[in-house]
Amino acid sequence: YDDDGNRMFKNTDSNGRFHSDWCSMIYSRLMLARNLLRDDGVIFISIDEMEHDNLKKICDEIFGESNFVSDIIWKRKRGRDN
């Protein structure tokens, strides 16, 4: 942040390191979450399809592939029925 309180760095889509920065940010938070979870704990993560693959790889590394149970696909109803 600068002297006026404005963010000096913004992680926008046009940033070439956008996904790398996002992965680094979420990795540290999930490591903390793992350390706070009980052995029989559960974590639910809501994310759009743009980062799903990256998040799955990070979670597999942190929690182990064998701990993955399932994806739940949620389609919000907008307008008329499909």
What does the H/E/C string look like for 4-44? CCCCCCCCCCCCCCHHHHHHHHHHHHHHHHHHHCCCCCCCC
Whole-angstrom Cα distance, residue 26 to residue 61? 12
- Establish how many alpha carbons lie within 13 A of residue 56's alpha carbon, considering only the half-sphere containing its beta carbon: 11
Rounded average pLDDT over 60-75: 90
In the chain, pLDDT over 90 holds for what percent of residues?
A: 40
Structure confidence at residue 10 (pLDDT): 58
Query: How distant, in Å, are the alpha carbons of 6, 7, 46 from that of 1?
Result: 5, 4, 29
Sign of CA dihedral 48, 51, 52, 56: negative
Q: Is 17 a residue whose pLDDT tops 60?
A: no
Structure confidence at residue 50 (pLDDT): 80
Q: What is the pLDDT of residues 25-65, one digit of tens each?
A: 899 999 999 999 999 999 999 888 888 898 999 999 999 99
**What is the rounded average pLDDT for all residues in the chain?**
81
